[in-house]
Structure 1
Amino acid sequence: MFIAFVGNAFAEVPAGDYLSGRPILRIEYQQSNIFDTSDPSTSSWPYRLANALHVTSREAFIRSMILFSEGEPWDPVIAAESARILRSLDFLNPVFIEARPESEGVVVSIRTHDQWTLQLGAKFGIQGSRKNYSVKFEEENFLGWGRGITLEYRKDHERSTWTYIYSDPNLFGSRWRGRVLFADASDGHREEVLAERPFFSLATPKAWGGEWKNWRQIEYLYGDGNQVAGGHRDFRLLRLWWGTRLPAPEKTVRRLSAGFHLDDRKFSDWYRESSPAPFPTPDNVKISGPRLDFEQSEDRYEVLSGFRGWSAQEDIAFGNTLRAGVTFSHPEFGGDIPRLVFEGSWAYRVQKNGWLLMGDIWTSGRLDDGSAANVITGFQAAASQLGPRGWQLRLLVEDSIDLDRENQLTLGADRGLRGWDPDIFDGTGRAVFNLQWRTLLKEEFLNLFSIGIVLFADAGKTWGARVGPGTDGIRVDAGVGLLADMTHIGVSNVLRLDVALPDDGGGVTIIVTSSALF
């Protein structure tokens, strides 16, 4: 059974591997099922039944995802990236790729551990007074080929929805990826199609693809945690792109993409929930024109444990990551008015003395006939002690200029202010600070999950409220929670149960969710 806590990052292979350059004589694959039934603690019938119901990832599928083959020279950097690609599938963790000398070459060993990928049953979530449930059949690794199939019924405070999804990370054994989604909701529908040959590795020279989305649903605005206004939104998106890798210094990756971007949003029949009077309908927006995207990152990935969960391997990109994009929309290209649509982000990750330090800055918006519109700019600074216990803290601030009428920057349990219902505080700007201390209580409980306790305090503020009350100053809360790392049910699956007390004495707020705060 694998579990490890580290205060420092570790790599799958040594940086100065003396075997580099030797030819790969053969590749040996070792795929482990969910549980090791040779271990007495996981040899009873429930664990054997789980293994029997699960199809282990096929050797041919793993071979199709890695970046090297027999006869090529051994490169530990490419091996480490191949391990990251396998872990990014979210159902293989941990993954180890190692080489040993043999004759004049090397033999490569690839060891993968499958996670449970079949979800058949019901889910229930709580965030304050807001509840949701779903009944789902989902298989993320259908027949061991990495293909995803989802059939789900979900009901929440806004709508009930039947959703059907099919995805394939390597169509017909190629580097092409595809995804098809159809959703039939009580207030509309969604259709999505994606086909792309992406930058599947840092060294990939070219990429291209296309995406289509067509949505119709009712959008809502919130005040005091309740729906105060809403109306129909029709949304169409078309993206076509072609990208290339640019020359860059060693350990730096630069990419430039060009394409066409259509984003058409139409609004109608907006109303107030508590009044027969109509609500001002948001303005229609049609963006259509050429688009450019630039990305720069550093090839400084490390593998960590003890960050979001307790034991799963997580790939962290250290150093700087920069992304920027711009769309030139004009009536001659099919747009409504001349617009310049922009977005950009910068992220920085570094590890010091057992701490993971993170910084993020982002912005997005438009220039409509030269005037700023729907501009949202924010930053986040966070720090986390790695390992089985320690502190985590985060400060997030966002502000806006001329925010579109259908948008809000709300604050509540869904945004980190855990003592209050989701969307309870309205705003066109917000800030939230989170501080928590956590410790592992039991690792591999029943060989299913590791569980720990979290003590936390939050503080937050909104400003520029338009449709509901703001925070009227800084609001605070404090509470206690449980964090379970579902070590055999996918790397991204954590379970949080938080109980928080707000500063107004209004009673506890309970949160049950499978998403991590940090």
Structure 2
Amino acid sequence: MKRFLSGTVPRFTLTFFCLWLASLKLIAQENARKVIRNIEIERHDVFTDLNRKPRFIYSWANQLHIVTRENVIRQELLFKSGDEYDAEILEESERKLRSLSYFGEVTVVVKTEGEAFVDVLVTTQDQWSTIVAYVFEGGGGRTTFGGGIEEFNFLGLGKRIFSEITHEVSEGTQIQLRYTDPQLFSSRWTARGNFITGPFLKDYSVRIIRPFYALDTKWAYGFTGFARDQTRRFFANSREFDRFREEKEEFQVFGARAFGSRFHKRRVQLGYRFSTKDITAVPDRMVVPLPDDEVSHALILTATFENLSFVEETQIDKFVRVEDLALGNITQVSLGRTGIPFPNGVKRFELRVIRSEAHQIFDRQYLFLTLGVQTLFEKNTIASFRLRYYNKFARRQTLGINIEFDYADSLEDSQLLLGGDSGLRGYPARAFTGDKRLLLNVEDRIFSSVNILTVQLGGVLFFDAGNVWSEETSINLNDLNYSAGFGLRLGYVKSPDSRVGRIDFGWALNGGGFGIVVGVDQIFSVN
């Protein structure tokens, strides 16, 4: 018996027992609640490599720039010291910081880790935040020029101030002022005020909202309002043939509640809207039937269903900036009823339905689909389809395809337009008008490594096709208008949001013609 006890079987049993205890300890350690002990903020100026030439330019730029304040960064984080450690919350905080236009590179990582704690390191690098710009945009015979100044990170506080004056040839001068505060009184509330005055539009608007600022946020609420005096204009063959004046005031308040797990959300929103609309005919311009004046009270119920995941990419729309792509699907259904809770004014139902899909279909290939319809039932119905496909088929080249289709019925205050200023390069602005609109853009985007100071050079080869059909005309693909050309892309890698400038040279393949389109950002993008 003694001999048996000292044999190999008990040794094996003892070894197995020790391994079992060790595995239990490891499981217990993995399941133990770790808390965030310290959060270290490491802030970097716009230019970190001051040995590049010309050195004095980068040094002066840093001296003129105010680095984002630490309390602004901490306010954007979705965690604080003492919170339970959650890797997904750190990743979401990184995406949230990166979505701010005045940040370039952002990382949120665990610096040190113990049995019961972690220390987190947040590293940010600022973008140059002050833009003094000469505005020049053109396409299809429309030319706009002017100047403006925009500060995306006022005094390092994250506030945004914008002012601009532009003049469109043959139409007039427009002035715009805007203030945006993403941390109103250092809170989760956001605020925005906007003022526009010009020959065809005067607009005053304000918005104060506490949004769903994180995936785990349960409540959102706020209000918006505007007063607008607008001249509605109608075109045919690039020429205006009618107009009327619309004065509209609107106020809306809402509250919303979120349910479900972090990446599978269900949101319900209830809102109240009050609006008035007065229509005035312009003398000698009464071709289009005038819409009716309106006063309306409405209750609006909106349900949103989200199933999301996220992936990081580059060279989709930007040159070097990390682009956070939201994949999955979103469905939103909004139903409104006017005449509630106050019976005076117009009485009708309003419906809006949107379905969005975003998927990585193969390695480095992405597909984005959106279907939507909005209607007042007896008028102003628009059904829309959007498809965007990206294929990063080479190291510095991305194939982009954009398909847009809109079908409208009984529009009383607008029309569908297409031309050199709206996607069909090489043709006059507003060349095609009607109720059914189709547009195709195919681009080979080239992101070169050539960098001059802070501007990265790139190019594009493109092919466009499109048309707009009137209500009386059936859709016929033989009516499509085609264009092709090339363009220059300027990646302002240190500017806010790493903006892309574009200059496109397009040749109309139907009947000849040539056009130059100048603007900011890609002709189509993920967002």
Q: Give TM-score, length-normalised by structure 1.
A: 0.89
Instruction: For 1:390 and 1:515, locate their aligned partners in 2 and report how far apart those are by CA, in whole Å.
Output: 16
What runs of 5+ residues in structure 2 fail to find an aligned partner? 1-29
Shifted more, 208-217 versus 184-193: the winner is 184-193
* 3-state SS of 2:90 partner: helix
The answer on 1:485 being equivalent to 2:496 is no
One-letter amino acid of the structure 2 residue matched with residue 194 of structure 1: R
Q: Which residue is 2:420 aligned to?
A: 413
Write out aligned runs for 1:114-513 (5 A). 114-156=126-168, 158-187=171-200, 189-246=202-259, 248=260, 251-270=263-282, 279-330=288-339, 333=342, 336-351=345-360, 352-367=362-377, 372-386=378-392, 388-404=396-412, 406-443=413-450, 445-464=451-470, 473-491=479-497, 493-513=499-519
* Aligned residue pair count: 488
Runs of 4+ in 1 over 4 A off after TM superposition: 18-21, 276-279
The answer on 1:80 being equivalent to 2:87 is no
Q: Which residue is 2:82 aligned to?
A: 71
Alignment deviations for residues 28-86 of structure 1 (CA, whole Å, 9 cap, x no partner):
11122111243x22561112222222111111100011100111122111111111221
Query: Contact between 1:37 and 1:48, CA under 8 Å: does it hold in 2?
Result: no
Q: Which residue is 2:17 aligned to?
A: none
Deviation at 1:253, TM superposition (A): 1.1
Deviation at 1:461, TM superposition (A): 1.9
Query: Contact between 2:242 and 2:287, CA under 8 Å: does it hold in 1?
Result: no
Q: Which residue is 1:29 aligned to?
A: 41
Alignment deviations for residues 369-409 of structure 1 (CA, whole Å, 9 cap, x no partner):
xxx311100111221113520321122111012122x2111
Shifted more, 28-37 versus 100-109: the winner is 100-109
Distance 1:277 1:249, change over 3 A: closer
Distance 1:111 1:271, change over 3 A: farther
Q: Which residue is 2:4 aligned to?
A: none
Instruction: For 1:230 and 1:116, locate their aligned partners in 2 and report how far apart those are by CA, in whole Å.
Output: 42
What runs of 5+ residues in structure 1 fail to find an aligned partner? 1-17
Instruction: For 1:108 and 1:42, locate their aligned partners in 2 and report how far apart those are by CA, in whole Å.
Output: 35
Structure with higher RCO (Cα < 8 A, 6+ apart):
1
Distance 1:301 1:116, change over 3 A: same
Distance 1:296 1:111, change over 3 A: same
Alignment deviations for residues 153-184 of structure 1 (CA, whole Å, 9 cap, x no partner):
12225442222222210111111111122233
Deviation at 1:94, TM superposition (A): 2.0
One-letter amino acid of the structure 2 residue matched with residue 389 of structure 1: Q
Instruction: For 2:181 and 2:435, locate their aligned partners in 1 and report how far apart those are by CA, in whole Å.
Output: 39
One-letter amino acid of the structure 1 residue matched with residue 510 of structure 2: D
* 3-state SS of 1:376 partner: strand
Deviation at 1:465, TM superposition (A): 5.8
Identity of aligned residues (%): 25
Distance 1:33 1:465, change over 3 A: farther
Alignment deviations for residues 116-142 of structure 1 (CA, whole Å, 9 cap, x no partner):
111123211111210112321211110
Root mean square deviation, CA, Å = 2.3
One-letter amino acid of the structure 1 residue matched with residue 403 of structure 2: L
One-letter amino acid of the structure 2 residue matched with residue 482 of structure 1: L
Q: Give TM-score, length-normalised by structure 2.
A: 0.87
Distance 1:492 1:338, change over 3 A: farther
Query: Contact between 2:135 and 2:166, CA under 8 Å: does it hold in 1?
Result: no
Query: Contact between 2:216 and 2:262, CA under 8 Å: does it hold in 1?
Result: no
Distance 1:279 1:205, change over 3 A: closer
One-letter amino acid of the structure 1 residue matched with residue 189 of structure 2: W
More helix by share: 2
Deviation at 1:245, TM superposition (A): 0.8
Instruction: For 1:162 and 1:259, locate their aligned partners in 2 and report how far apart those are by CA, in whole Å.
Output: 32
